[in-house]
Structure 1
Amino acid sequence: MSPEGKKLMNIVILGVGFMFIFTAFQTCGNIEQTVIKSFNSTSFHASGYTSMAIIYGVFSASNLLAPSMVAVIGPQLAMFFSGLLYSGYIAMFVYPYTWSFYTASVLVGIGAAVLWTAQGNVLAINSGEQTIGRNSGLFWALLQFSLLFGNLYIFLAWHGHEHISDKDRQTVFISLTVISLVGCFLFFLIRKPDPDADAAPGEPQEALLQTESSEDTLRWSCSVLWSQALDAFVQACKLLATKEMLLLSLCIAYTGLELTFYSVVYGTCVGAMTRFGQDAKSLIGISGICIGLGEILGGSVFGLLDKCNRFGRSPVVLLGLVTHYVAFYLIFLNIANDAPLAPESGTDLRAFLEPSVGVALLCSFLLGFGDSCFNTQLLSIIGFTFRDNSAPAFAIFKFIQSILAALAFFYSNFLLLHWQLLILVVVGFLGTLTFFSAEQHARSTCRDSDYDSI
């Protein structure tokens, strides 16, 4: 296999591994709050929103240390062990207890920081200036297939169920745990790419994967490993203060807020609408599938066809904002204001229009499509701008995104739907403006030939 073919295969394996893990985890997040409301247990008193706030809060705090962990054990093992923590969180729902629920939330937050930092490192090292856009889109499209399979299973398993029984819950979460474990082991299929003759100076090719021989590994002393760890932490702190990252930070923050909304809050709202009929709970699965279809379409169009885009990244981000604004307006008209906080029995209230399942599912698709517009372009611009320091740069990306996601999960415990939509509208607008500035700065600091070849 050619060196470029090996890199492309690594990206495919990376995307498929993440697809399996997040088929389990995103499906878990989508149904989590609805499942918790159905528990018949006096030993479990917890909130899915609070759990997600803990996950993303710990995630954000761990991101500045994650590059050090990746530097010490390498991204391949880092992704494997982090994936195991995701599997443990999902397995906890088979026999849930309050203490284990929140403990698992802390652990998966740490694992998420390491997993995504290692992913960014693998993506950047297996990409060149001409392939970073394609590879970002390919990875994103494969990842978002995770929203199809798990949610389709939820729809089929819960169709016609007004209440989720213990047996229903256990069957679903055992299946999701096995799926997540498959994704963890797939990471061992990734191979170290051949060094590029034109690799950027200082690019850590040798640190990509732990495929060195045991003899080479034994030569590594603890002092060298911890020196790498400290250097990665210092680089992350320095990158956080750069003009490029500061310009991108508000746009990244918006992706954290809307991640909370589409991944958990909106599905909970759909399941709470009694006016959707007795299949409202199973519609959570269909909503997740529609989000996934939007994500896949966006990742394919704006990633795989990236070479056809000669106008830069800003038009794609603007399209994402407009798409989200349309979705927010339709949700405002279609979903009851108290839906995010409704009890298990749901809400009988209506918004400004007679609730429509078709409109609700269209909004799911638009949320996914708009999210892919933002994320594919952020992955592309960060991978291009910080190619020599990819692990710290992606750690900062996830640090900003996750701390805002944690904030959003926190306020989702008490804010009604309309207030949540208003926050998204304002931050989305400001984030898009700052992305335009970051894109213009990237154009001005790079040679036109380099930039246009992306």
Structure 2
Amino acid sequence: MADVRDYNVLILSLSFMFIFTAFQTTTIIEESILKSAKNESHHPSSFKASGYTSLCIIYASFSLFNWIAPPVISMIGSKFSMMLGGFCYLFFIFSLYFVSKYVKCDLSGLLYAASVVVGFGAAVIWTAQGSYLTLNSTDETMGRNSGIFWAFFQCSFLIGSMIVYFCFKPENGSTLISLHQRSIVLLIFIALSAFGTLFFLLLRKQKSSTESDRQEILVVNTRDSGTRTEKKGNPKKTFVNSLKLFITRPMFFLNVVFIYTGLELTFYSGVYGTSIGNTLHFSESKRLIGLCGVFIGVGEILGGGIFGIFGKRISAKGRDSAVFLGLIVHYVAFFLILLNLPDESPNGSSHRMGYLIQPSVYIAMFCAFLLGFGDSCFNTQIYSLLGNFYSDDSASAFAIFKFSQSVAAAVGFFYSSYLGLKFQLYILMITGFLATISFFVVEKMTRSRPRYQSNSNENVYL
């Protein structure tokens, strides 16, 4: 059984690595690709597609569809839910390819429709992933498996960004991304996304002596062995359970943490790379977007590796110390970014200096590393906490996590089109502090009650 679980965690991690090598890198370069395509159009005013708008739609629809993700998973199971989500990501990258290639036509409607589709796919694939990771873990291995998954998953940043770095070499001194360059990159991402989706077929089913029992939850603990098994249940009751879980006291505090992860996801996956690409003090600034992603990926992988190796020890001593480390790392990154990049860089090209210094590539890449490492501190501990505390209702817990995170990400992408770098960093600093305090509160709850009890009135927040 242990061998099957470890095998499934590895296949799960590799599948996500391939799919998100394509998608995460696409989100980083989407705004730059569409701006380059617009400049190639003979009628730029008729080219309406916007990367920030697309990403805002993705995360807004992601948040709404999270409420129907647990019922979908209860009907078709985690494995095929993840495959369904993978095909949605594939469709989105296809749509961006056509929009950026046929610049004479206004295909923004196709892109925005695909953004809604991928929002649905994201809700299903991430809720299913949380449920499946919990299914193939025990209380002792949840922290380790969360770290392993996160390290492999964030290799996607490293691989995808290396592709962008080598493919986006300036042509004839232009600062734009040519049709040939963006077509090659997006076709590579289409192939990787398709491969990762089909890779889910290699997942193996665990055998259980209680497999014929009908339950209304997706993952249950067998008290004697600690084994967790997946059950198909009633979609309506699964939806109602999600709503009830949302108003519990621990989830109230956790939502503050989820919101911060959504806002900083917006920043490191969309805003920061675009800001570097718009800082014209950097030579080959568009190419540096790829290098930025490499350093974010290195930070994510290092954090995931550390928390994977020491996951059991961290869980025993308290996950709040890892989250506090993440906050400090992010604060250092935010301060240096404020000094290094122009305030208007998220929304337009700029020749200006940062607040106190001339923009430095070395500082920019160091900050990218810090953003990635800090993000891994928060996310690995969230996965570990949810997998242990909500092991009997993991699908609903992870759906709420992704709901709140995606709502915050949608809000973040919306205000990114209007706010300068300074105010965006101030928002992150305030919400990061509140998120850390909230995580401390929930971690204290888990020490007194190691597993969530859905029938306990103590959990209800009113």
Instruction: State the distance in 2 between where 1:184 and 1:319 align.
Output: 34
Partner residue of 2:289? 284
Answer whether contact 2:260 2:435 (CA < 8 A) is retained: yes
Q: State how far apart, in whole Å, the 2-side matches of 1:296 and 1:393 are.
A: 25
Q: Alignment partner of 1:205: what SS?
A: strand
**Equivalent residues in 2 for 1:252-401, closer than 5 Å:** 252-277=258-283, 279-309=284-314, 310-342=316-348, 346-351=349-354, 352-401=356-405
For 1:63 and 1:147, the matched residues in 2 are separated by 24
Paired amino acid for 1:151:
S
Stretch deviating more after TM superposition (33-42 or 159-168): 159-168
Cα shift at 1:231: 1.5
Task: Check if 1:199 corresponds to 2:222.
Answer: yes
Q: Is the 8 A contact 1:11 1:135 kept in 2?
A: yes
- Equivalent residues of 2:327, 2:433 under 8 A apart: yes
Match of 1:443 in 2: 447
Q: Amino acid of the residue matched to residue 429 of structure 1? A: F
Which amino acid in structure 2 is aligned with residue 163 of structure 1?
L
- Please tell me whether the aligned partners of residues 203 and 389 of structure 1 are also in contact (alpha carbons under 8 angstroms): no
8 Å Cα contact 2:136/2:228 also seen in 1: no
**Contact kept in structure 2, 1:290 and 1:361, CA below 8 Å:** yes
2:251 equivalent to 1:245: yes
State the match for 1:58 in structure 2: 61
Partner deviation per Cα, 1:144-185 (whole Å, 9 max, x = no partner): 000011110110111234221111111111111010000000
DSSP-derived class of the 2:74 partner? helix
Alignment pair present for 1:105 and 2:115: yes
Alignment TM-score, normalising by the size of structure 1: 0.91
Q: Equivalents in 2 of 1:445, 1:20: separation in Å?
A: 37
1:425 aligns with 2:429: yes
When the two structures are aligned, how many residues end up with a matched partner? 423
Could you tell me how far 1:91 is from its partner in structure 2? 1.1
Q: Give the superposition deviation at 1:203.
A: 8.6
How is 1:144-159 mapped onto 2 (pairs within 5 angstroms)?
144-159=154-169
Give the ranges of 4+ consecutive aligned residues of structure 1 lying more than 3 Å apart after TM superposition: 194-198, 200-204
Q: Distance in 1 between matches of 2:402 and 2:205?
A: 24
Q: Deviations over 1:297-352 (max 9, x none)?
A: 0011112221333421001000000000000000000000000010xxx2101112
CA distance in 2, matches of 1:143, 1:396: 21
Matched with 2:213 is none
Query: For the Cα contact (< 8 Å) 1:290–1:365, is it kept in 2?
Result: yes
Q: Which residue does 1:167 correspond to in 2?
A: 180
Residue 214 of structure 2 is matched in structure 1 by none
Counterpart residue type for residue 32 of structure 1? E
Secondary structure of the corresponding residue to residue 380 of structure 2: helix
1:116 aligns with 2:126: yes
The residue aligned with 1:211 is: none
Cα distance in 1, alignment partners of residues 86 and 308 from structure 2: 25
SS in structure 2 at match of 1:281: helix
Q: How far has the Cα of 1:204 moved from its partner?
A: 7.1
Deviations 1:206-253 (A, max 9, x none): 43xxxxxxxxxxxxxxxxx7x611111011111101111112110111
Indicate how the Cα distance of structure 1 residues 192 and 395 shifts in structure 2: closer, same or farther if over 3 A, else same.
Answer: same
> What amino acid is the match of 2:98?
Y
Q: Secondary structure at the match of 2:353?
A: coil
**Counterpart-to-counterpart distance in 2, 1:47 and 1:99:** 11
Whole-angstrom CA distance in 1 between matches of 2:208 and 2:143: 20
Indicate whether 1:49 and 2:62 are aligned: no
The whole-number CA distance in structure 1 between the counterparts of 2:447 and 2:161 is 40
Pair 1:184 & 2:188 matched: no
Question: Partner residue of 1:407?
Answer: 411
* Coordinate RMSD, CA, aligned: 1.7
For residue 78 of structure 1, the aligned residue among 75, 78, 81 is 81
The 2-side partners of 1:120 and 1:311 are apart by: 23
2-side partners of 1:325 and 1:253: how far apart? Answer: 17
Residue 95 of structure 1 is matched in structure 2 by 98
Match of 1:216 in 2: none
Contact kept? 2:137, 2:228, Cα under 8 Å = no
CA distance in 2 between counterparts of 1:252 and 1:174 reads: 33
Superposed CA offset, 1:422-452 (max 9, x none):
00000000010010000001101139xxxxx
Is the alpha carbon distance of 1:200 and 1:109 closer, same or farther for their aligned partners in structure 2, counting shifts above 3 Å?
A: farther
Residue number in structure 1 paired with 2:21: 23
Gaps of 5+ in 1: 208-224, 448-454
Counterpart-to-counterpart distance in 1, 2:92 and 2:290: 20
Report the AA paired with residue 363 of structure 1: C
Distance 1:432 1:196 in 2: 41
Residue 36 of structure 2 contacts residue 178 of structure 2 at CA under 8 Å; is this kept in 1? yes
**Partner residue, 2:32:** 34
Task: Please list the CA deviations of residues 391-419 of structure 1 after superposition, one character each: whole Å capped at 9, or x if unmatched.
Answer: 11100000010000000000001110000
For 2:253, the aligned partner's letter is L
Q: Does the residue aligned with 2:268 lie in a helix, a strand or coil?
A: helix
1:418 and 1:369 mapped to 2: Cα distance?
22
Q: Which runs of 5+ in 2 are unaligned?
A: 100-106, 211-220, 452-462
Is 360-369 or 297-306 further displaced after alignment?
A: 297-306
Residue in 2 that maps onto 1:68: 71
Name the CA distance, whole Å, in 2 between partners of 1:425 and 1:387: 31
Taking structure 2 as the reference length, the TM-score comes to 0.89
* Alpha-carbon separation, structure 1, partners of 2:4 and 2:47: 48
Question: Percent identical across equivalent pairs?
Answer: 45
Question: How much has 1:265 moved relative to structure 2?
Answer: 0.3
